[in-house]
Structure 1
């Protein structure tokens, strides 16, 4: 099919995408957001505990400390247990395991990647989720089940926040300080803090002037709204509510706010891509038919498809994999004339993307009654520029007479006053502001972690990484022995983040097990090996930079400034499949190449 045969004009779409991007780019990038500290520290208080659990400070010695009780920490703990390591402590600032699913209990919260792929360790726990996309309460319960199954509650420290870490060379131990007065020692530390756990607030003029009620979606205030994760927010009757942010979280909670509030104002800078979710209960006959290895097969099939690698069958068959299906149809239509070179595939992928996004925009137009509102809800960017959303009620919510979309045409909110929100020069008086403004992603690692790490030579991790991350495989860093990092930085990006965490957990457990079995005191990456990996990451990142530069601002592209985030801070440009193979080949070598082992 030639360009003239297409039902859209590719050149016109490219120009439209660029224009929409340009008017949203801000010079302050990530600095437009406020850190939840000082005057804003109450935004990170835990609303899910009745009281702080009292205990005496700890100054004991543990073989492995894992920081973070989300999927990363749980997977690390599980793989360490599988390796026969018994002396493990998980430290978690929340009151239980769950990570982002402990904090995010807003109404309508659910996974947006198929639960059979997303929830880790399903076969190990002999569990099949109840729905294709399960709700947050079930994910939190599964997290707790993992903790119980692997005895990770034993020796765990909840309601405990790490405040600092330093390496003691004489003892060959990490000293971990916490807000509970602890000075714990550990031979190994795994940092599984997670990329989506520290809320951020918009740096809007007057944000501290507002005298009404406020909260962040990751600390939902049911005492104010009434109801629960299922909705029925009876406390909002008679209330005027404003929600700032229209990303994945807002898409899930807006229908419930719109159902209960007397008036709801949805303040939008950039619309999300809203595709069909089509959630449904798990078929019991299908669940009973699953054979050993089914989840790994499904995870790999999904990851291959969303990575652009065609598969004989699409096991998940949802909105995430649909664009690859469109690509295959396009290639089949072209037959022998199809250009299967990398450049040809990229060109075909762009056209398939255009086709998909035209479908998304058409859906908004068909569902939303008011033409101006429908037009404002149309996303003008490539599908994977921002995290795609899937929901069957979000767009319909704007047909309620009590719900108003306040589109700012990419400019954002003007300011906040004592009584409301000013956008497009108009003040909207509201009784409550809900911040659906996401989490810190592109800021310094220590700021996102909430503590500083001081290594063998007295340098902090922030100081060492001032000009960009320096690691081997995104997991270990020179000058920081026996320290392991679980994050997407310099690692393979996955749509289903637990897939990456599982691969990293397997890798880390392998190294720690080897060290313990061979009486190794410290494991540290050699400078040459680290430098070689950094260069490989930089070289690979150049492939994705043009795409990221063309995207509308968001956390995927450092708020529209991917070139300002050092290339070496990016994910591994070769993709997750290549990255996973690199880790597997490294373990198969058996000699731990690039690591210096000290006895």
Structure 2
């Protein structure tokens, strides 16, 4: 199969009038200014003495309820889109007894917790919001605001009757397989003891906030909070802005990733003084949000959501389509995603030509991003600090039509911390960077999450499988799964997430494919009266070997990148746990596996397939 050689079309990128070696040297120098030897250890979890950062600001006191000592067919851990999709697809597969257990006080997951001002999805809403046709809804905006997304999550819960058995403000504290009854014993922090035939964990990849390990962080006497727990009682306003209680406040925002790009314009508009502490600037492209055209919405025919999201997935993984249905910043720079999301784009070129094609397209794109900073930011010194000097997919791209302009306000100060490798320390009344103390009344941490970490993979949720073996014991030499979903020795336990399967920038699409697969496997197990679902050791080993064989070699690219969560803060892992052929091929593989006898590798003591 042949592909165009660049985002610009079949002719390929033109040789730009720039010194490529000088650009590479600049990228390396900017990377080296920011690398810290401790890598990801520069952050600390929101736990222990910092546990109050994790409290729920949106819920009333947990209601009294009787302890649960009952049985259900399926327990789903997590009420975000992964858990909702698992519940919905199970319901469509005929499963009636489904209990979702969620830490928050309602469905929504990431969109329950994150309600900061300006919050929108950066993926088009028509492909990001799942189950739109099943719920009967068309989003109001091309890029939906957080509240619309949260309300859609609740609508899924109602449509598929998932509220019936759900329990909120509850955390699962342990999973233990009972060998004598072939079921899971699920314990919670509300002293529940629930028996479940199957357990699906869907606790998300953006569920554990992190704080910077800045000396003195616990000595500050002013007000602090994390963006994932926005304190409107302190700031006033809501997700649309009007943070009127900051009119007499000096505010520090630490972090300039995707969240900051959305909330900085509102903070700049309403705070008396805003200091934005930046270690590495984000790449900020045009957003161009707009309301949904009612005539277009009325013209949609059944199946439109799948066609649109499949079209997007094909484009951002290097495929060819007749028409770009989404037509935005993600699809226009699709060829550059190959450094993060594997595909076979450019594979018809020899390796050296392929890499040069990537570099030329990348440099052209990033030069355009940097030129936009010059166009929008009035002060040349500030503009220079806001320019991203790295390859396009070194950090998650961001999009905004107001972030850069905010630095033209007289009350907004950009504090670049690259040479000090971040904020130096925090005192009782100030944030110190570059030897200067900035006195503030409030510090807001926009420092993100422990990406890719779930309760199971972090060990916070203990799991004991057959014979009492723990998951860390079973994985002492590295993760071992079949297709990323289940592991030998842990019957009827399914994991949703990015581990040992394939991901994409639209992760909700990936979650829907995963939920559909799990529901189909459970449906087959119930239909064929299997004792339980568990991959054979041989099938598991074969998949681990496949992951090793096909895992993309991204180490060299990521080692050249500026530090961020994509490359473990400048310390990239040498071994990938991703399926190297990409998500389109992976989803096709799952469908073929289900249709062509693969279930034999996971259904234990099942009746013959009568289909």
Q: Normalized against structure 2, the TM-score is what?
A: 0.93
Is 2:591 the counterpart of 1:581? no
Q: Determine helix, strand or coil for the equivalent of 2:438.
A: strand
Give 3-state SS (helix, strand or coil) of 1:65's partner: strand
- The answer as to whether partners of 1:455 and 1:461 remain within 8 angstroms in 2 is yes
CA distance in 2, matches of 1:466, 1:345: 37
What displacement does 1:547 show? 2.2
Mapped partners of 1:195, 1:261: distance in 2? 32
Q: Does 2:286 match 1:279?
A: no
Normalised by the length of structure 1, the TM-score is: 0.94
Q: Given that residues 207 and 454 in structure 2 are in contact (C-alpha distance below 8 angstroms), is that contact kept between their aligned partners in structure 1?
A: no
Secondary structure at the residue paired with 1:64?
Answer: strand
Q: Are the equivalent residues in 2 in contact too, given 1:125–1:149 (CA < 8 A)?
A: yes
Match of 1:373 among 367, 376, 382: 382
SS of 1:78's equivalent in the other structure is helix
Give the one of 90, 112, 134 matched to 1:124: 134
Residue 158 (structure 1) aligned to one of 168, 173, 176: 168
Match of 1:441 in 2: 451
State whether residues 586 and 593 of structure 1, in contact with CA within 8 Å, keep that contact through their aligned partners in structure 2. no
Partner of 1:258: 268
Runs of 4 or more, structure 1, over 6 Å off, are 1-4
Change (3 A) 1:246 1:406: same
* Segment of structure 1 superposing worse, 86-95 or 455-464: 455-464
Q: Which one of 356, 360, 364 corresponds to residue 365 of structure 2?
A: 356
Once the two structures are superposed, the pairs formed by residues 374-523 of structure 1 within 5 Å of their partners are 374-409=383-418, 411-441=421-451, 446=456, 448=458, 450-523=460-533
Name structure 1 gaps, 5 residues minimum. 328-337
Which 10-residue stretch deviates more, 404-413 or 143-152? 404-413
Aligned match of 2:71: 61
1:282 partner SS:
coil
Match of 2:332 among 322, 337, 352: 322
How well do the aligned residues superpose, as a CA RMSD in angstroms?
A: 1.9
Question: Contact 2:77 / 2:200 at 8 angstroms: preserved in 1?
Answer: yes
User: For 1:324-356, what per-residue CA distance to the aligned partner results, in whole angstroms no more than 9, with x for missing partners?
Assistant: 4899xxxxxxxxxx9942634443233112111
Which residue does the alignment assign to 2:349?
A: 341
Unaligned runs of 5+ in 2: 1-10, 338-345, 607-611
Aligned residue pairs, count? 586
Q: Which moved more, 1:405-414 or 1:64-73?
A: 405-414
Contact 1:523 1:598 in 2 (8 A): no
Which residue is equivalent to 2:548? 538
Distance 1:499 1:342, change over 3 A: farther
Q: Secondary structure at the match of 2:534?
A: strand
Of 135-144 and 421-430, the range deviating more from structure 2: 421-430
* Residues 418-466 of structure 1: CA deviation (Å, up to 9, x unaligned): 1111111111111110011111125575365742111113222233334
Decide whether the 8 Å contact of 1:226 with 1:235 is kept in 2.
yes
Deviation at 1:8, TM superposition (A): 2.3
Distance verdict in 2 for CA 1:339–1:534, change over 3 Å: closer
Once residues 225 and 457 of structure 2 are traced to their aligned partners in structure 1, the CA distance between those partners, rounded to angstroms, is 21
Say if 2:281 and 2:387, in contact at 8 Å, map to a contact too. Answer: yes
SS at match of 1:434: strand
Residues in 1 aligned to 2:598 and 2:246: alpha-carbon distance in whole angstroms: 61
**Residues 113 and 2 of structure 1, relative CA distance in 2, 3 Å threshold:** closer
Partner SS, residue 595 of structure 2: helix
